[in-house]
Amino acid sequence: MFRTFYIAQDERALLLRRGDFVDVLRPGDHVRFDPLRRYAVERFNVADACFHHRFTNYIMNARPAIAQREFHVIRTGAAEVVVRYQDGALAEVLPPNTRALYWKSYIDQRFERYDISQDFAIAPRLALELESARGAVFLATEGVTRVEVPEYHVGLLYVDGKLGPVLQPGAHYFWDFINYFSTELVHVHCAGAELH
């Protein structure tokens, strides 16, 4: 008559009744009156932080209290990017118009949000993290433009065909999810001269 579902410490589970979502089960024993065996659980290891499931949108939209209780709820606008860190290391870049759920668990998750409508330049600290993560996470080439300006040159940056900031020698990084960038290099004859 009664059934017990045990959820391990590194797990979460969806409680389903006749295939429909009921709740999210945390670690421990969960007892349900189920003489007709209509309940089932679907288990997830929280080491895989992102929750990909057919019920993702349903939980976000129809069960917001459960979504807030069990997940980090991420929504990015048309001109927003979110950078996700897992246990202190850069793990992922979420592009504009993303909807995602990440398990709240013993794994440390941090999310940094950027408005790229006007502030499309990537700060040096983040640019270094992106370079270090290249090939290991989404974003290696997608969503990021890298411009290298050689010594004794400046770069004329064009944003969507319009002249933008002048770039000094060195590497520069820009979010290119919503903008198109092109660069024209100009030789500076006097060493140390800057063009503003």
DSSP, residue by residue, 18-79: TTEEEEEE-SEEEEEE-TT--EEEEEEETTS-B---TTHHHHHHH-HHHHHHHEEEEE--TT
Question: What's the mean per-residue pLDDT of the chain?
Answer: 91
User: What mean pLDDT is predicted for residues 12-39?
Assistant: 97
Closest by Cα among 61, 66, 56, 74 to 24:
66
Residue 130: predicted pLDDT: 86
AA identity, residue 33 = F
Q: How confident is the model at residue 134 (pLDDT cuts 50, 70, 90)?
A: low
Strand, coil or helix: 129: helix
Please determine, for residue 113, whether its predicted confidence score (pLDDT) is greater than 90.
yes
Number of residues that this document lists for the chain: 196
pLDDT of 141 above 70: no
Least confident residue range of 95-99, 127-131, 175-179: 127-131
Percent of the chain scoring above 90 in pLDDT: 81
> In a 10 Å sphere around its CB, with 0-12 CB exposed, 13-18 middle and 19+ buried, how is residue 191 labelled?
exposed
For residue range 28-50, what is the model confidence (pLDDT) as tens digits? 999 999 999 999 999 999 999 99
pLDDT mean over 95-115: 96
Secondary structure class of 188 (helix, strand, coil):
coil
As a whole number of angstroms, the distance between CA 71 and CA 59 comes to: 10
Question: How sure is the predictor about 142, in pLDDT bands with cuts at 50, 70 and 90?
Answer: confident
What is the pLDDT at residue 190?
Answer: 57
Of the pLDDT bands very low, low, confident and very high (cuts 50, 70, 90), residue 138 is very low
Higher pLDDT pick, 188 / 14 = 14
The pLDDT of 185-191, averaged and rounded, is 77
Separation CA 42–CA 24 (nearest Å): 10
